[in-house]
Structure 1
Amino acid sequence: MSTENASPLVELRNLTFGYGERAILDNITLTVPRGKVTALMGASGGGKTTVLRLIGGQLRAQKGQTLFDGQDITVMRAEALYAARRRMGMLFQFGALFTDMSVLDNVAFPLREHTNLPEALVRDIVLMKLNAVGLRGARDLMPSELSGGMARRVALARAIALDPELVMYDEPFAGLDPISLGTAARLIRQLNDAMGLTSIVVSHDLDETFHIADQVIVLANGKIAAQGTPDEVRHSEDPLVKQFVNALPDGPVRFHHPGPSLEEDFGNGDLAGLKERA
């Protein structure tokens, strides 16, 4: 069955999640098609990383469903949840490598934790994953000896160590120089296609993310502001999406945080002087 006609690997149905009185996601519905790269974008605090945590089962929705391959993560017991997580890979923001382990041991960690493979086979698998990200020669280095871009690639090798069906990336381009950023983006796309993965990328980097994504979902104010191909989202007429895509300083997301008027804070006399100095 082709991925075009297959059921989505991940689906959020009428999902609501918040912390106390603060709603983060408000009755949203979205799908992540198999074999594709889906980008989650939007202003900071819009709930993008929260979506990843809901899919991974670290958080549970108050209402609605979080479906992974048709099964609801929200109601899974521990054993079923751990089985689902073994089919997922995660690249954390800034890599999150174990600082006291070598590159080889970092990538080997999930294999040693979740399988009973002999050590010789673990080593061979690790070297293959490192080779896929161009770092087989760095196997004996420690994280402190890696550049930011290299650390991110090692983290990617670790994320695909168990041959997952889904890989989630939380800000994979943050803090990278242009060369490393381009390399990381190309790897996400190449590995997705070569390994038949499904990828979810949380990112603020518009150019690189739009270049590699099949689908873009923009979250704002607890809702989905836009969803479609990169070109469709880029040409959206929604004011908030236009502000985000064009990096405009003011719009629905205001430059000034809501508060008392200038007259209330400074008084009319002080306000005249303030405007003259401005």
Structure 2
Amino acid sequence: MAPTPSSSLVELRNVTFGYGERVILNDLSLSVPRGKVTALMGASGGGKTTILRLIGGQIRAQSGQVLFDGQDVTRMDQTQMYAARRRMGMLYQFGALFADMSVYDNVSFPLREHTDLSPEMIHDIVLMKLNAVGLRGARDMMPSALSGGMARRVALARAIALDPELVMYDEPFTGIDPISVGTSARLVRQLNDTMGLTSIFVSHELEQTFTIADHVIILANGKVASEGTPQDVLHSTDPLVYQYVNAQIDGPVRFHYPATSVEDDFGAHAGVGHQKFGVAR
């Protein structure tokens, strides 16, 4: 009898990761519900993109488990990692299209690299994926001729070319106009539902995020500060979450990065500085 699949496609269990002495994720645990749209939110530098990179195996956790469909990514060899990645799609920030390839060639690239499909079959799949994002008519254009919103949609067509189970989006709404933001948000929701995907997206765009997400995770200080439905998060009484969703300047997240005292930095050389610049003490 086949095992029953977990309700979570992705799980992080007690994951710690940092760059040098700077800890980004500290004993972090979270789950991404299968078949849902999950938003990763929080202040800049909080580890959101790092989580996507851990799931995709671009970096490895220093401790803990990163599970994709029950398999620990941190323990996969190269062959296993490539097999897992074929079940994932990634929309990079700003699209990351190949500048010297046409729209058609960008979308067909993963199909040519990872399948033995005939050119005719690849042709039909590419046009289907471009049609799904509303850009079948742009197949012969070069990336330099695309608007920011169009480039993001082409990148999305490429991300779903192999019919992945999981699609990860890194800041899909950044740097595009309000019409394109709305279009991109609708596509995330629509493709997730029609293709039976599980979606994770990193975003700071509150309005669109809370409109399309089923599950929202707010990160802070290397851990989950709050999670739940958009309404759960919006009504959170946690000071940090309240500051974030209400865009308040004053709160747990401070303007100044931690530093030594002003007296320590400036006091010892105050006399020299004042003499040099002719400032009276």
Fold conserved (TM > 0.5)?
yes
CA apart distance, 1:255: 1.9
Q: Distance in 2 between matches of 1:94 and 1:254?
A: 28
Q: Are the counterparts in 1 of residues 6 and 69 from structure 2 also a CA contact under 8 Å? A: no
For residue 67 of structure 2, give the secondary structure of its aligned residue in structure 1. strand
Q: Distance in 2 between matches of 1:264 and 1:109?
A: 56
TM-align CA RMSD: 1.7
Match of 1:132 in 2: 132
Over 3 Å counting, the alpha-carbon distance change for 1:14 and 1:260 in structure 2 is: closer
Q: Distance in 2 between matches of 1:134 and 1:158?
A: 13
Unpaired segments of 5 or more residues in structure 1? 268-278
Over 3 Å counting, the alpha-carbon distance change for 1:31 and 1:175 in structure 2 is: same
Deviations 1:183-213 (A, max 9, x none): 0000000000000000000011011011100
Q: Distance in 2 between matches of 1:258 and 1:51?
A: 24
Q: Distance in 1 between matches of 2:37 and 2:69?
A: 16
CA apart distance, 1:250: 1.6
Match of 1:203 in 2: 203
Match of 1:52 in 2: 52
Q: Distance in 2 between matches of 1:265 and 1:23?
A: 25
CA apart distance, 1:7: 2.6
Over 3 Å counting, the alpha-carbon distance change for 1:21 and 1:265 in structure 2 is: closer
Q: Distance in 1 between matches of 2:57 and 2:259?
A: 37
- Pairing of 1:125-274 with structure 2 (within 5 A): 125-259=125-259
Large movers: runs of 4+ above 4 Å:
260-267
Identity %: 76
Q: Are the counterparts in 1 of residues 6 and 70 from structure 2 also a CA contact under 8 Å? A: no
Match of 1:94 in 2: 94
CA apart distance, 1:256: 2.9
For residue 27 of structure 1, give the secondary structure of its aligned residue in structure 2. strand
Question: What is the letter of the counterpart of residue 155 of structure 1?
Answer: A
For residue 23 of structure 2, give the secondary structure of its aligned residue in structure 1. strand
Over 3 Å counting, the alpha-carbon distance change for 1:266 and 1:51 in structure 2 is: closer
For residue 8 of structure 2, give the secondary structure of its aligned residue in structure 1. coil
Deviations 1:163-202 (A, max 9, x none): 0000000000000100000000000000000000000000
Question: What is the letter of the counterpart of residue 148 of structure 2?
Answer: G
Match of 2:28 in 1: 28
Match of 2:271 in 1: none
Question: What is the letter of the counterpart of residue 111 of structure 2?
Answer: L
Question: What is the letter of the counterpart of residue 98 of structure 2?
Answer: F
Q: Distance in 1 between matches of 2:50 and 2:61?
A: 10
Unpaired segments of 5 or more residues in structure 2? 268-281
